[in-house]
Amino acid sequence: MTVTVTPAEFTLVVYDSARIAELVGSVADRFGLPADLPISVVVDETTPLARAQLVSVDPAVLQVEGGAFEQPRHLRHLNEAAVILTAARLLGRLADRRDPAFSAGGAPPAEEELTLAQADVWDAYSLGRAERLGFEAHQPRWRYRFRTRHGFSDVADRVFDRVWASPQLTWADLEAACAETGAVPA
């Protein structure tokens, strides 16, 4: 797996580009992405914010604000678990977007057009798969985040459990999950 990290050398945070590339490559490999797929990880080390986006599918580009990779108790230091979870969320989406079966019932909108509810249901699906692939995903954290968009209800919890545990869903399934919780875009 060819993973490049920009910047190659960090000056404002104590991050290791080679280690980030290794971790992202490991996640990509376990998600079954092709070994010849180049992946670029662009880290904005100037901000402590934590936004992370899949900005391109071909070529694969992950854009990450520095705080997304930061240890909460040791500011400016790399948190390998955060790198893995961020990569799992975004590379899960990348794998889905590259899989024709995922879009069989309709293609997902562009990343910047996803509603928060759609993004959260997709994150739950990606991170549930990541957990089954051997990564620690801390499900309660993501369940709470899911609830903030889909409601604090038994219905939302059942939908979350189903999405988290599902090995194979389509975009239509994720949209149906949003509709089931009532989190459909207006």
Per run of 10 residues, the mean pLDDT along the chain (length 186 residues) is: 95 97 97 96 97 96 98 95 98 97 94 95 97 96 96 96 97 96 72
pLDDT at 184: 64
Other CB atoms within 10 Å distance of the CB of residue 15:
22
Beta-strand pair 74-78/70-71: antiparallel
pLDDT at 186: 45
pTM, 2 dp? 0.94
Separation CA 121–CA 62 (nearest Å): 19
Distance of CA 145 to the CA centre of its chain: 13
For residue 52, the cross-strand partners are 64
Task: Give 86's contacts (C-beta < 8 A, 6+ positions apart).
Answer: 52, 62, 64, 68, 69
* CB-based contact 44:55 (threshold 8 Å): no
Token output for 97 = 């977007």
The distance in angstroms from the start CA to the end CA of the chain is 40
pLDDT at 1: 74
Select from 108, 79, 105 the least CA-distant residue to 95: 108
**38-44 β-sheet, strand order:** 2-6, 38-44, 60-65, 52-56
Q: Is 11 helix (H, G, I), strand (E, B) or coil?
A: coil
